[in-house]
Amino acid sequence: MEVFRPKRFLGGKHVQTIYNALFPPSNTLRSHFPYEEIYLPTNDHSGDFLVLEHNPPLEHTSVHSLRPYNGYYILLIHGMEGSSDSHYMISTSKNALERGYGVVRMNMRNCGRGWGFASKPYNAGMSKDVEAVLQFMEKKFSKKLIVSGFSLSANLILKYFGENRRHIAKYFSAVSPPLDLKKSCEFIDSPKARFYRKHFLDTLHKKVRSGIYSMPPEMELRAAKAKTFFDFDDFVTAPLSGYKDVLDYYNKCSSIHFISKIRNEGIVIHAEDDPVVPVKIWHKVQWHKFPNIKSVLTKKGGHVGFLTDSSPQIPEGRWLSRILLDYFDSKIKEI
């Protein structure tokens, strides 16, 4: 596996994290590729919908592909307050299509194009939503499925694969996962992460003020007073998601409790200098005990950043999508 080397003059952890958001890859997935938008009802009888963006394998279209369709579809799920348009979703989708995969990008509840189509917020443990999308993909597209999660959804994916269930997907990836939600919350609520806390809380508060969530007036008033992630999760996320309180939510949804139970093969990637998810949580996991999981800890890369210098192998300099697709390609070839 190619070692990550940060792009020249962009080696800092904050630059790696923010640069991709400010200068994302061009999103031509709706204009230059065959594309459809899918509105999928959730299976919790809430009346909520998940908005999916589907790009079929290029072999089935008139668009040129570097490789023929390999039979696999990849489901990509974004991180906190991201969407199907997040930079890592775009770059990984393009790379996957060119390598012969079909792709579905999932907007978690009320994110991106899913704004206003759900009465509940998303959270770090919504396995039922992952299951609903995978069941749909298995029925409509392919029985050979892969799931790729980033940031908050990386925690969700690890939790999902560690649960006792029939796992529809065969392989997975998890990038920059907050393995322990309580510890991650404590870090982002600390002075060190003030910038990121404000950014995320501003967008979360905007959703509450918009009235898209079904919540009583007193809950809305409490939510408006939330100045920390802990408070927001305690006032909004936990009660609207059916948890007793925020600590109940964090305990039941932290993927660190599920990793030892994962039997599927997958890759987990994290950077030591991640300014959003502290690396000390990573070191609490004895990764060497899980041969089915390839763990990759880089020195640099920030939070879901991993921007490197452009090269013939990585033309856009987005190391992450190259590594993920190389891993999935290697697994498929083993069969």
At 316 the pLDDT is 85
CB 244 within 8 A of CB 146: no
Tokens representing 72 are 């696999």
* C-alpha to C-alpha distance for 145 and 183, rounded to whole angstroms: 32
At 315, the pLDDT band (50, 70, 90 cuts) reads confident
Look at residue 293 and tell me whether its pLDDT is greater than 80: yes
Q: pLDDT tens-digit profile of 38-85?
A: 999 999 999 999 999 999 999 877 666 678 899 999 999 999 999 999
Q: Which residue's entry shows tokens 């206003």?
A: 116
Query: pLDDT tens digit string along 208-242?
Result: 999 999 899 999 999 999 999 999 999 999 999 99
CB 181 within 8 A of CB 252: no
CATH number of 13-179+255-334: 3.40.50.1820
Tokens standing for residue 127 = 């396995």
**Global pTM value:** 0.95
Sequence ranges of the chain with CATH classification 3.40.50.1820: 13-179+255-334
Q: Report whether 241 contacts 268 (CB < 8 A).
A: no
The H or E element containing residue 230 is helix 229-232
146-187: pLDDT as tens digits: 999 999 999 999 999 999 999 999 999 999 999 999 999 999
For residue 313, name the pLDDT band (cuts at 50, 70, 90).
confident
